[in-house]
Structure 1
Amino acid sequence: MITVSHLESLIHKDKETGIGMSGSSKEALKLRLLQLKCHFTWKLLLKDTDPDELEERLYDQHKFLVSKYKYMVNNFLAYVMHLKGDYTKAILKLEKAEERIKENNPDGTDQNYLVTYGNYAWVYYYMKQYEDSQKYIDKVEQIYKELKGPQDVAQIYGEKGWSLLKFCGQYYEEAKQCFQKALELEPEDPEWLTGYATVVYRLEGFHGRKCAASDCKSLELLRNAVEKNPRDPVVKALLALKLQGLNSYEGKKYIEEALKQAPSYPYLLRYVAIFYRRAEMVDEALRVLKSAVALIPTSPFLHHQIGLCYKKKYFLCKKQIFGNRNTYNRRMHLAELEDLLKNALLYFEKTLKCKKTYVYAHVDLANMYGEARENLKAEETFKTVLSFPNLTDEEKQQIYYNYGNFKEYWMRSESEAIDYYKMSLQIIVPSQERNASEKALRKCYEKALTYDPDNEEYVSELCELRLII
């Protein structure tokens, strides 16, 4: 292990000779940096995120967040600035983090500085200010000395958990493990209880998964988090959504409480809107979302949610038209239907202007292009999203099913539809799309057999389908 004193001697030796840091000294410094526990050693990979979109999300959270843990957002922003190669801004963010920690801990050095100082050390290393880098390594060592040696620190696990949770969905499982470790060290800490409940809730609903009441672990975790952290309106909204998903009317109480606490907090309002939309209160959802988007006009999530509301209203209106025999009312509804379709398209397009890699917004936009009979635009949108690197199995499954549906109903190409339904079904991830692909394939093959009952290929495919199921 390279000690700080040994590293100092190497740096001072280089300084005395009047040359830049030697290769051996730089390597020694790098080894010390790799032992730090901070954003730079947590393997938050650039390929898994859009740094511009992540930066915007973090700025929005920082602007509206009321918490003593606001310094964590600044620490994370410093790392995002590193991803973008802007080290001057990274240092400014770390200075802000340090100020926040001092405000909350006026008595002096404590564990909350460990991640901040680790980030400082890495940023200065990338800026080739090696002496400053070593100085912050020294600060980290001093804190550990006060703690009586290197040990597990709840604040580090908790901050890592929140960072992984905010980075992207592929990191949720690791975030869950971090919050578990933080809670082993500080079992009653409200922030770690909230983080753990949040990540378990997200994993249970990841990519549209459904969680049976008997398998639902997040419900009690969310209740406990609300009890320990009653001033957090967001965790109340998550509890409301979980209760709603389990068909409990109790959720409405928590949504109302959360709204009273933070009526102008966009991060909360998006969950309130989801609750209203699922409760068929679509106009209420739209009202809430438009209030939120006025505060954060470039939020892809909010624009997508508004698009989903117009999409829902569109299909409800379409159902009314086909179920209504009154010619006058039908004409009136057709005009309304056209407006709803335009609005859905408008907001899905706005979503993709804010975030070009938003997979589910591409799928929704392509589907609504189909409804608008803009088949070329729909094809282009499906092809664009399929070309994205690093698509998850769940994302591929949803794209394949929807593309198959588009091929079957709008392009009248059952053979192409079958190919995409098959690709969706072959991804062994339980989901609504997989079930729908299985039903669609069964229907396609059985329909084909009515026209050509002696076709051995169709019989074979149907048998193979039954075996897969």
Structure 2
Amino acid sequence: MSEMSSIQDSLQSKLDQLECHFTWGIKKEDLVLMDILNRLEEQAKMGLGGEQGVARTHCSLGYVKFLLGRNEEVFTHLLKSETLIKENLGVNCDKTLIVTYGNFAWINYHMKNYTECESYLMKLQKINETCSSEPSSVSEMLGEKGWAYLKFSRKYYDKAIEVFQKAVELDPENSEWNAGYAKALFRTETGTLCTVDSPAIKQLERAIEIDPDDDASRVLLGVKLLFCSKKLMKDSEKLIETALNGSPEHPHVIRYVGKFFRNQGSVDRSIALLKKALEKSPNSGFIHHQLAMCYKTMKINLQKEKREVNRFEINIARKQCIYYLEKATSLKASFVIAMSELALQYGEKRDLPKAEELFAQTFKTAREKNDSLHVVHYYYAEFQQYSKRREDLAIRHYTECLKMSPHTSEGDRSAKKLKNIAQRYMKDDPGDWKANEILGLIYQIKGEMFGDTKSYAATSGNEEDDESLSNLCEINLKI
């Protein structure tokens, strides 16, 4: 073995034991790098999270630049991170430098700067000697690790929860770790799992208790309460209003306030807020997607009016919806949910070949990324049911969605669609085998019993949800 190989092996062994982005299992294939780059650069530019938050952002940017092959730019971000930490914390900064120095050691190793790599390993060794615990149990490191998992990919949300929970246990009064823990729980609680005493709601309340100025957590709490129970409308509105008054320029606050108003029915107000947010974050796929959903809601509302003269308005709303979805998917190449919605809108517009092509691409992306495949099945089922009038294929894909994710919102909606289809079959023939097969499947997966055929037919109703009505109206009007 050559002397150089021996040095490399010795360094590699030490590097593998570090706590930093290079050792946290954040894989390039799980990431949409340009989307992450845009978001992190936006956060650094706007100074979100104060000096400590910006320092963490630059540390993460260094790792993203490494994954993009821009190794020389990595040092710029890591130096900025180190400078901000030292300026902010002074002599008490050692523990906060663990991740930054770990990244420094790794990038120098990759650049074959072995002397510099060894230098950073020695700095970390000195920090370790002053710590009363291992680096893996230092709250400052755990907090930064949690934020990295939260910002890089939804695939790491469960890891973010685990890490933030440990950080909060070690430092219960730390506002940043409590806020991160709350946000991670918020993002993972979906569908029927939401209750007014859910872990996310309790943790959001805790984050606000520790930091009364945390308007980002306040707006999430407002959205969450309304989602869980319409009876909490006044509480939700008060939280939303307080957050908006306290942080009228904060992009995260504006985004979720816009979503709140859309869900509440104030579409015009939501559009105004989201467009304001877009001025500050023009590369945000999230904001473009939310604007598209506003115009979709506007289109649905216009269709329900069933006025002959409003077809022009419907057409404009649909065009705006498609425009913002196309922008969202161009900014974030693997935005599966936006891609699915865009394909569905192409179907409504009667551009069936284009819709089929995009759905094929979306299925491929979802499978490659192992991301939201159940969502694609749901949208494709709607496309088959309302645009192509292939109810057999619709049933197949609603069923696939239900089997994959029974407790998500798409799983719930798939169950509802299947129930409605079964009920129509049973009107003609109460003993219809296909209808009973569908109901049996729903019972098997979700544990819901409907009683006998007559009681089910009497209680289930034959009303589709608003979204389905809009799809049906769209086809019938042939706009």
C-alpha deviation, 1:148, in angstroms: 5.0
Distance change (3 Å), C-alpha of 1:150 and 1:450: closer
Q: Which residue pairs with 2:463 in the alignment?
A: none
Distance change (3 Å), C-alpha of 1:391 and 1:262: farther
C-alpha deviation, 1:145, in angstroms: 1.5
Distance change (3 Å), C-alpha of 1:85 and 1:307: same
Give per-residue Cα distances to partners, 1:132-158, cap 9 Å, x unaligned: 011001000011122256352110000
Q: Which residue pairs with 1:8 in the alignment?
A: none
Q: Superposed, which structure 2 residues align to 1:116-195 within 5 Å? A: 116-148=100-132, 150-151=134-135, 152-195=137-180
Give per-residue Cα distances to partners, 1:200-257, cap 9 Å, x unaligned: 122113xx5541224x122222122112112322112112212222331112222222
Q: Which residue pairs with 2:399 in the alignment?
A: 422
Q: Which residue pairs with 1:371 in the alignment?
A: 348
Query: Would you say the 8 A contact 2:30–2:369 is kept in 1?
Result: no
**Length-normalised TM-score, structure 2:** 0.86
Query: Would you say the 8 A contact 1:161–1:174 is kept in 2?
Result: yes
C-alpha deviation, 1:413, in angstroms: 1.5
- Describe the SS at the equivalent of 1:105: helix
Distance change (3 Å), C-alpha of 1:464 and 1:275: closer
Q: Which residue pairs with 1:77 in the alignment?
A: 61
Partners in 2 of 1:427 and 1:390 — Cα distance?
13
In structure 1, which of residues 40, 54, 57 is the aligned counterpart of residue 39 of structure 2? 57
Which letter maps to 2:27?
L
Distance change (3 Å), C-alpha of 1:227 and 1:437: closer
- Describe the SS at the equivalent of 1:383: helix
- Describe the SS at the equivalent of 2:372: helix
Distance change (3 Å), C-alpha of 1:112 and 1:254: same
In structure 2, which of residues 245, 258, 267 is the aligned counterpart of residue 273 of structure 1? 258
Q: Which has the higher contact order (CA 8 A, sep 6+)?
A: 2
What RMSD, in angstroms, separates the aligned Cα atoms of the two structures? 2.4
Structure number with greater Rg is 1
Give per-residue Cα distances to partners, 1:290-344, cap 9 Å, x unaligned: 01111111211111010000000100110011xxxxxxxx233111111111111
Gap runs ≥5 in structure 1: 1-13, 15-19, 322-329
Aligned: 1:213 with 2:196:
yes
Partners in 1 of 2:225 and 2:435 — Cα distance?
45
C-alpha deviation, 1:197, in angstroms: 1.4
Aligned: 1:406 with 2:383:
yes
- Describe the SS at the equivalent of 1:253: helix
Q: Superposed, which structure 2 residues align to 1:286-305 within 5 Å? A: 286-305=271-290
Give per-residue Cα distances to partners, 1:361-401, cap 9 Å, x unaligned: 01211222222122222212211110115468882222212
Which letter maps to 2:342?
L
Partners in 1 of 2:99 and 2:15 — Cα distance?
12
- Describe the SS at the equivalent of 1:106: helix
Q: Which residue pairs with 1:468 in the alignment?
A: 444
- Structure 1 stretch 356-365 or stretch 61-70: which is displaced more? 61-70
C-alpha deviation, 1:451, in angstroms: 7.5
Aligned: 1:104 with 2:88:
yes
- Describe the SS at the equivalent of 1:36: coil
Counting matched residue pairs gives 439
- Structure 1 stretch 396-405 or stretch 252-261: which is displaced more? 252-261
Identity %: 33
Gap runs ≥5 in structure 2: 446-479
